[in-house]
């Protein structure tokens, strides 16, 4: 996986998943929390930005371990 994810890489990773599966952002591995993904995507300066839409709670241990 490239260090800098592109829209194409993200689409390929998500295309085989259940479209009803909720998506969360895993933030800060030292103090792991799951955050909601904002619905708005903004393109500026040649990059797509997806907003964080608030904190859901602690990242599950299994997800934290897998991302470590």
For the chain, domain boundaries: 23-67
Assess whether pLDDT exceeds 90 at residue 39: no
In this prediction, residue 15 carries a pLDDT of: 93
Judged by DSSP in three states, 56 sits in strand
29 — pLDDT class (breaks 50, 70, 90): low
Are the CB atoms for 68 and 29 separated by under 8 Å?
A: yes
State the average pLDDT over residues 40-65.
Answer: 88
Q: How far is CA 45 from the centre of its chain?
A: 21
């Amino acid at each position: 996986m490239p260090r800098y994810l592109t829209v194409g890489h993200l689409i390929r990773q998500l295309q085989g998943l259940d479209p009803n599966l909720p998506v969360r952002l895993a933030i800060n591995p030292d103090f792991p929390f799951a955050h909601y993904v904002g619905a708005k995507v903004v393109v500026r300066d040649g990059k797509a930005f997806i907003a964080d839409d608030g904190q859901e709670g602690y990242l599950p241990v299994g997800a934290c371990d897998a991302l470590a």
